[in-house]
Amino acid sequence: MTTDFQRGAQLALKNRPLRRAQPGAQPDYLYPPYGSSVRRAPSQPLVLLPHTLSELSGPVFGHDRVTPGAADLTAQHDGVPLGERIIVSGRVLDEDGRAIPETLIEIWQCNAAGRYAHRMDTHDAPLDPNFSGYGRVLTDKQGRYSFTTIKPGAYPWRNHPNAWRPAHVHLSLFGLAMATRLVTQMYFPGDPLLALDPIYNSTANPRARERLVSAFDLDSTRPEWALGYLFDIVLRGRDATPMEQ
């Protein structure tokens, strides 16, 4: 019997070697306006290691790991959550623009008031008993995914005086291998807080960081129901979606 790990290795080995990121296209490890980067940035130059099987393989999650309805964050409780209902969809692609099928995407976010359903969040904003803020979905054969959720609110984060995070959705993916692991944040177009956000601006190349901003999309907007936003995710390569460092 082929294990998930072995299947991942077989898939990943077809794709090597994987390209390194372009300079400025990923967040700087040290970006002083983002306070916690000062504490955790490496103090020594990085040592590049060759990719071996442990980087070129990774977990493969089967459909049994994703429960029906996990992609609809508005339908996980008895009632309907408050806020603006949205549909976030797109494709997951590799560094050459090929679809990555059947890969797990996990998302988490705060509610419409800017509060996470998490014991560490003490922001003075209401919790929503009908919104947990977690979702999972597998991409289809064309690498497509779709979530239904609530547009998250902005929230304060004390990085600097009067600091507010722009509305964002957190995402986590593995793709085919550990070396394509991505943890990132998706933003919304036209948000005035983006220009002030050190996490968003820690990616030096403006074209690269704009890949973190979703696009409003009338085609995926469901009449009388929800606005649609498109967000394609590229794992590695020159068009890679920036990682959250």
Q: Which residue has the tokens 């008031």?
A: 113
Catalytic residue, chosen from 31, 34, 91, 165, is: 165
Active site residue 63: no
- Amino acid 86 reads I
Cα separation, 195 vs 10, whole angstroms: 42
Catalytic residue, chosen from 155, 187, 200, 229, is: 155
Catalytic residue, chosen from 31, 34, 116, 229, is: 116
- Tokens standing for residue 140: 């289809």
Peptide bond into 17 cis (omega under 30): yes
Catalytic residue, chosen from 91, 115, 168, 236, is: 168
Active site residue 118: no
Active site residue 170: yes
Catalytic residue, chosen from 170, 209, 211, 236, is: 170
Sign of CA dihedral 123, 125, 126, 132: negative
**Burial (0-12, 13-18, 19+ Cβ within 10 Å), 79:** exposed
Active site residue 155: yes
Cα separation, 149 vs 160, whole angstroms: 30
- The C-alpha angle with vertex 130 and arms to 126 and 135, in degrees rounded to 5, equals 105
Active site residue 98: no
Tell me which residues are annotated as active site. Answer: 116, 155, 165, 168, 170
